[in-house]
Amino acid sequence: NAGVTQTPKFQVLKTGQSMTLQCAQDMNHEYMSWYRQDPGMGLRLIHYSVGAGITDQGEVPNGYNVSRSTTEDFPLRLLSAAPSQTSVYFCASTDLPRDRRNEQYFGPGTRLTVT
């Protein structure tokens, strides 16, 4: 199993550009999520999905879109990049927990800089 994969690893964008961060998992996990990590802020949830066709907003969703057309893939789209979106982005997945105890598996992260 490759686990959770993310591409690209690094990206530099100019303000106003759009792009898609890719995330895929091969563990047949129902639940997938996107976090951003900023200094002193910990990991903050952007969007999450509990299964194909179902997505919902997290703590900091503005400026981002997601879709979940398959169980494996959960891309994150930046519609019009802003310097405030400079961050490290992590994708995570887990089994949809029956008793809410399942650990999350994280991808390697995408470091995004918006100039």
Partner 1 sequence: ILNVEQSPQSLHVQEGDSTNFTCSFPSSNFYALHWYRWETAKSPEALFVMTLNGDEKKKGRISATLNTKEGYSYLYIKGSQPEDSATYLCAGPVNTGTASKLTFGTGTRLQVTL
CB 110 within 8 A of CB 87: no
Q: Which of 45, 72, 73, 75 binds partner 1 (CB under 8 A)?
A: 45
In the shown chain, the binding pattern of residues 3 to 42 toward partner 1, with x for contact by CB under 8 A and - for none, equals: -x--------------------------x-x-x----xxx
3-state secondary structure of 84: helix
Q: Judged by CB, which is closer to partner 1: 11, or 17?
A: 11
18-51 as b/e: b if 16+ CB within 10 A: eeebebbbeeebbbbbbbbeeeeeebebbbbbee
For partner 1 (CB under 8 A), the number of binding residues is: 30
Q: Judged by CB, which is closer to partner 1: 67, or 105?
A: 105
**DSSP-derived secondary structure letter, 112:** E
CB atoms within 10 A of CB 54: 11
Within 72-111, the residues that bind partner 1 by CB under 8 A are: 90, 94, 96-97, 99-109
Interaction site with partner 1 (CB under 8 A):
4, 31, 33, 35, 40-45, 48, 50, 56, 58-59, 90, 94, 96-97, 99-109
